[in-house]
Amino acid sequence: MKFKKLACVAASVLMVGAIAVPMAACGGNGDGLDSDGNVKKITMWCGGSEWTGQNYVNLDNFIKEYNKVKPDGFEVKLEHKPDLETSFQSVLTSSKLPDMMIWDRFNTATNGIKDYLYPVNDLVEADNIDTTAFYAPAMEEMTYENKIYGLPIDVDIWGTYVNMKYVKEYDDAHPGATISQLLTANWTWDDLLTVAKALKTTSVNTAYSGGDQYEHLFKYYVSTGHGEEYLVPVEGDTTGRKFQTNFDNQRTRDILNFFKEVTNAGVSGKQEADSFIGGVCAMMNKPLYHNNQIKTSKVTDYKFLPQPRQNSEDGVNGGMVGGYGIAYPSPKGKYHNKAWEARHQAAWKFTKWLCYNKDNMLKWTKDIGSLPALSEALNADECVAGNQVLADARTYATAKKTDGSFVYTIRPQVPNYLTLQTDVVNAYVRLFLEGNDSLETCISNLKTNGNTKLLFGLGS
């Protein structure tokens, strides 16, 4: 599949033309402009652990192919930053600022309220971009307080990878008590534990990588059917920014008790990210992107299952959905100049070319391996042709409850969510699972310290 050129909208062309001439002497990224003021190069940053290994190789090759064609006349320079947020925030008053970023969407609210991201509502309106053309949860993550900070690229859901080699090994040894029939899109928490206990008796080193369960509280909360209640607004708040935890309830206790049961069963271990790839671990909770790593490994017979549901009336086989978009750092002071404006227009052209074009989104899916956020591409037959994992993931991502809402849910779009996860949820759930805190102490710490983190910097 070859790249397709997206026709430029007149409004954007006029804006570029109006500012192109006087820019050659302006600073930023070595300008990225030629002597006539035309944009010749823009910089895109990606970061974090997701864009490493095979995922980064795929992205780098995708950009290299784009640069061979240069459909809009400029080159995209790709750079990887281990800590993207810290890196871009530190250069907002610098000529080193990137023009665009492969953006982990759930961080939009936290950075948007600090004016670290540049909104593009005017460009969306000028170019008549239909934001309803995207998978709704993905577009929601690129928007905060009615400001649009870019367009979504993909749909990345979390689920459980199962190495069927070990399932078959167990079933062959226990023909009267097989487990393969439990591994369906309707499986439950109890099914996961039953399978894990069974796989523990096979030749695999670790049945289930449950040593990182403290990271998955939100995913399991969603699988109770009440993911939208994970955080709730602070009563009386008029800003719409203040939220508090909703952990002091039976569903949180059910989740934590299940995590403890998995821990006590001795089926899990804290394995490295590549342990499934190496055949060391039989089941692992990972995002869709992990499939890229598996495809290059010796593991050939595996399944991708949705989040197991709570065995309750409201339980759903839904978990966390995230993904990436293209966002733009907001330059400060003298760095918000005409040269930056020209490159920003070029970055927007690239965004439309990629995110708002069916053929280019399908090529992204083919090359990068994630589902496209553009619904026209997501729903196309060729999107998942010959790829069972993608086909299954699409089914899970688009499944809905009886009220019409998606069973897979984005993280709460509230400021400080990341610090809530890393500094509170991970820390205190881990202490509980290691036997250092009681269940009620864990709940109390999650509630009290979680609320403190969520309200940090938001005023009294």
CATH assignment of the domain containing 343: 3.40.190.10
pLDDT at 211 (0 to 100): 84
Query: Tokens 């990606």, residue?
Result: 46
Q: Is 2 contained in some domain?
A: no
Q: Based on the domain organization, do 99 and 202 belong to the same domain?
A: no
Residue where one domain finishes, among candidates 353, 384, 415: 384
Q: Based on the domain organization, do 284 and 405 belong to the same domain?
A: yes
pLDDT at 7 (0 to 100): 47
Q: Based on the domain organization, do 32 and 116 belong to the same domain?
A: yes
Q: Is 5 contained in some domain?
A: no
| E strand or H helix that includes residue 41 | strand 41-47
Q: Based on the domain organization, do 305 and 446 belong to the same domain?
A: yes
Q: Is 163 contained in some domain?
A: yes
Q: Give the other-Cβ count within 10 Å of 255's Cβ.
A: 23
Q: Is 188 contained in some domain?
A: yes
Q: Based on the domain organization, do 316 and 415 belong to the same domain?
A: yes
pLDDT at 8 (0 to 100): 44
Question: Looking at the whole model, is its pTM more than 0.85?
Answer: yes
| E strand or H helix that includes residue 154 | strand 154-163
Q: Based on the domain organization, do 185 and 263 belong to the same domain?
A: yes
Number of structural domains the chain divides into: 2
Residue 33 · residue 395 · CB < 8 Å:
no
Q: Taking Cα atoms as reference points, which of 11, 13, 19 lies closest to residue 129?
A: 11
Q: Based on the domain organization, do 146 and 166 belong to the same domain?
A: no
Query: Tokens 């006590």, residue?
Result: 264
pLDDT at 23 (0 to 100): 38
Q: Is 165 contained in some domain?
A: yes
Q: Taking Cα atoms as reference points, which of 198, 197, 142 lies closest to residue 168?
A: 198
Q: Based on the domain organization, do 360 and 271 belong to the same domain?
A: no
| E strand or H helix that includes residue 244 | strand 243-245
Whole-angstrom Cα Rg for the chain: 23
List the chain residues with pLDDT less than 70: 1-30, 270-273, 460
pLDDT at 29 (0 to 100): 42
Which segments of 57-146 are extended strands (E)?
75-81, 100-104, 143-144
- What's the longest Cα–Cα distance across the chain? 79
Q: Based on the domain organization, do 31 and 92 belong to the same domain?
A: yes
Q: Is 460 contained in some domain?
A: no
pLDDT at 30 (0 to 100): 57
pLDDT at 273 (0 to 100): 67
Q: Based on the domain organization, do 352 and 243 belong to the same domain?
A: no
Q: Based on the domain organization, do 190 and 311 belong to the same domain?
A: yes
| SS3 assignment, position 71 | coil
Report the distance separating Cα 330 and Cα 351, nearest Å. 16
pLDDT digits (tens, 9 = 90+) for 9-32: 434 433 433 333 343 334 344 578
Q: Based on the domain organization, do 161 and 310 belong to the same domain?
A: yes
User: What's the domain range around 314?
Assistant: 157-322+389-455
